[in-house]
Structure 1
């Protein structure tokens, strides 16, 4: 079983993949950028980092392997444990290549250093997009010369008499036609105005009386606006729903706005410390929780 392939698949779908007793890969979305030196435009992507403090098993990786390999959750967990032991042994002597994700090495303090593979873009919204190189563009301001009309003068020619008479007759016919149309239009407007006055007088003279009027009903309408909070700090994912509810109650006793945020595709009930509308606020709260409450908390974006 190649554990790196499953991690690679999950990075396209999730923001945090935890390898139990080893660490976790965390992704952050960054927007498109332009390298002015090389005149290259890079599409949006997921920036991948490695956090060695994320070691608690959240069940995500084991469930995915169990589903893909058609094996039990326990067998998938054991396979992960064996792979982790092999990785740790290899890191003591040589760099560890995690498929197409990147390379892990140990520094002088035995800390794991991660070098991501920058050629792979795990942001599905940018699928098919690649870096574009373009020549530098220079703008030129075009000077627009004002247009000066050119008037050509020609010798005055005498217009024949029969053309003058024909033009005069055409003008008189046009004026007569227009005048007749104006007269007909004014006549129609006068008739309509008289009809409207008669109808208005009838309406004003009418009286409506209701013997038993219905009581007035007052409706108090409260418009609720649901605020969408897409950023969740996950405390854990549980196979048993009762354990998830128990976790929510424990977190609420600690003062967190904990809740169940749903069931993932592997059937695990996910519990969050809190949810936020702003990503930066969520990340700041995540760092605080990792330092004080649980180092295994991670950020989920829905």
Structure 2
């Protein structure tokens, strides 16, 4: 049985696909890219990496194969083990291995496994139908650049106003009329300022009388109104449930006692740890915590891998 096809199918839907006894293929979303040197544009995609330390069987690949092939779970496990054995033999003989549509492996001089992801497949479903393309640079002809330079050698023509000798009295009449208009405008402005000043004084006097009436009325109130009590609804009563679909998994255990022991250890270390109910594979998952965003979960996962648990992985599911 060739399990490469089933690994490829799972990479579309999951961020971690483990091949028991061999390692795990991990995916991480990479934003769209523009390569300036080649004028090329690349859509968002899932970047595939490989971790040789994650070898425990999480049941994902085996269950998928069992359903697709309509066979038993135990037979699917045997088929995976047989395929892994063939892969290891090929690596020992050829020092190289190709997993179709996923990537290639090479053993270096120190027998370390080097993985190179395949560029032919984009496992990000949100980028379906998008492909890379090259935008050629805009080139200008030499003749077009010369047309942009405009040289004007024409002689400058000086305009000399024509001198008029007649009807000069019209000029003085216009000046006189303009002076009358400015004087009238100034007088109108002064008049408006006086009206505004008087209006302000009247308004101040009216406000003083109103304040006196208010104070007088206040002294004659014998039975004041009862105080009004306002009930303010606490913000805590309107707390909305926040969905946390991203979970950092510490491990899944066949024995419930082991799961409980790891859970208590994580709580003691300060994590918001959780224990999930037994899953369909008969395992008890233990979480470092659950998060509302992918970025928060990814940050905690990376910190945990570097400090204490290189096998920690990310689960995306609404629990």
TM-score (ref. length: structure 2): 0.61
Partner of 1:45: 45
3-state SS of paired residue (2:13): coil
Higher relative contact order, structure no. (Cα contacts within 8 Å, ≥ 6 residues apart): 1
1:93-126 residue CA offsets vs partner (Å, 9 max, x unmatched): 2211111111111111111111111121000000
* In structure 2, C-alpha distance between the alignment counterparts of 1:299 and 1:217, rounded to whole Å: 48
Other-structure match for 1:33: 33
Cα distance 1:284–1:217, how it changes in 2: closer, same or farther (>3 A)? closer
Structure 2 residue matching 1:114: 3-state secondary structure? strand
Aligned partners of 2:277 and 2:15: how far apart in 1? 16
- After the TM superposition, which residues 1-302 of structure 1 pair with which residues of structure 2 at under 5 Å, given as runs? 1-94=1-94, 95-137=96-138, 218=231, 220-221=233-234, 222=236, 223-237=238-252, 248-249=263-264, 251-259=266-274, 270-277=285-292, 279-302=294-317
1:128 CA drift (Å): 1.1
Q: How big is the shift at 1:73?
A: 2.0
Change (3 A) 1:136 1:268: farther
Q: 1:136 deviation in Å?
A: 2.5
Instruction: Report the CA distance between 1:300 and its aligned residue.
Output: 2.8
With over 3 angstroms needed to count, the CA separation of the structure-2 counterparts of 1:15 and 1:45, relative to structure 1, is same
Give the length in aligned residue pairs: 230
Structure 1 runs not aligned, ≥5 long: 144-214
Moved over 6 A (4+): 238-246, 261-269
Task: Please give the alpha-carbon distance, in whole angstroms, between the structure 2 residues aligned to 1:279 and 1:2.
Answer: 33
Q: Displacement of 1:70 after TM fit?
A: 1.9
Shift of 1:244: 6.5
Structure 1 residues 10 and 239, CA gap change in structure 2 (3 angstroms): farther
User: Which segments of 5 or more consecutive residues in structure 2 lack a partner in the other structure?
Assistant: 141-147, 149-227
Higher helix content, 1 or 2: 2
Structure 2 counterpart SS, 1:252: helix
Q: Report the counterpart of residue 167 of structure 2 in structure 1.
A: none
Q: TM-score, normalised by structure 1?
A: 0.64
Work out the CA distance in 2 between the residues paired with 1:253 and 1:236.
17
- Contact 1:56–1:296 (Cα < 8 Å) also in 2: no
**Deviation string, structure 1 residues 159-178 (Cα, Å, up to 9, x no partner):** xxxxxxxxxxxxxxxxxxxx
Distance in 2, Cα, partners of 1:291 & 1:227: 29
Give distance in 2, aligned partners of 1:47 and 1:251. Answer: 30
CA RMSD of superposed structures (Å): 3.5
Aligned to 1:170: none
